[in-house]
Amino acid sequence: MPQLAETYACVPSTERGRGILISGSPKSNAILYTNGRSVIILNLDNPLDVSVYAEHAYPATVARFSPNGEWIASADVSGAVRIWGTHNDFVLKKEFKVLSGRIDDLQWSPDGMRIVACGEGKGKSFVRAFMWDSGTNVGEFDGHSRRVLSCAFKPTRPFRIVTCGEDFLVNFYEGPPFKFKLSHRDHSNFVNCVRFSPDGSKFLSVSSDKKGILFDGKSGEKIGELSSEDGHKGTIYAVSWSPNGKQATELLEQTAKDLSRPETGVSDVEARLEVKHD
């Protein structure tokens, strides 16, 4: 009779028209992703080394390691965020009801003291930032009229938060406490993802309109757009920066595209940038 030799973890769950959110550990070569009501912790050095957190009552949507790697914040379709330890049987630290609907993205502040989450809500409640240990609000996030698909915390001081969503907007907030600073409507379709560069000097938004737009990380002002030459042919669902901040990878409708030129050492984010001055 055949014997079971190895058992591998399930892959991330997928949903048409949405990117897959995967988080990396700051202390090890482990990654986080969700499938159903479970959060999977997978060691890339040994794919058989897998842990599963299955305490969510509803399907989980996103999970992120804290900056010190000691905690994980995971969210689900009910709008709940659970914060639990990476050791000692995943002991639950806190659980908060953050939004009235699905949470689509979640980010820790670089000091590990605050969390910002975004998604579906009622009225204007599409984004919320709060203290990780008490749930106390740390700002007001006006400016969006529809579901917010992505949010990002500036990884350096002064702290900033940027959000984007189905209203075609990219909104910029200063704080803490965070307040609305400005809004950009340079995209002509859903803005699916926004991410700061590792040094916080800039951030990049990508959209279903096939465009990538670069902004200044401190002021929120637009720097330019990625050139349409050899441009994308379909929706861009996600973007991620390289550790040195000179390259970015965009997840497209059918494939992934690396915006880099390793043979020259010149970033394609820089090479393809069309800076537009007022």
Question: Distance (Å, rounded) from C-alpha 48 to C-alpha 83?
Answer: 25
Sole residue written with tokens 């189905």? 166
pLDDT of residue 244: 87
Residue boundaries of the structural domains of the chain: 23-275
Residue 190 vs residue 274, higher pLDDT: 190
User: Around Cβ 145, how many Cβ atoms within 10 Å?
Assistant: 13
Q: What is the pLDDT of residues 254-264, one digit of tens each?
A: 555 555 543 33
Q: What is the pTM of this model?
A: 0.89
66 neighbors 72 (Cβ within 8 angstroms): yes
Structure tokens at 23: 């988080």
Tell me which H or E stretch contains 252: strand 248-252
Question: Distance (Å, rounded) from C-alpha 87 to C-alpha 22?
Answer: 20
Q: If we measure between CA atoms, which residue out of 141, 132, 221 comes closest to residue 177?
A: 141
User: Around Cβ 79, how many Cβ atoms within 10 Å?
Assistant: 22
For the chain, give the longest Cα–Cα distance: 74
Q: What is the pLDDT of residues 65-80, one digit of tens each?
A: 999 999 999 999 999 9
The chain-wide mean pLDDT, for the chain, equals: 90
Examine the pLDDT at 253 and tell me if it is beyond 80. Answer: no
pLDDT band for position 265 (cuts 50, 70, 90): very low
pLDDT of residue 88: 82
CATH number belonging to domain 23-275 = 2.130.10.10
User: Around Cβ 3, how many Cβ atoms within 10 Å?
Assistant: 4
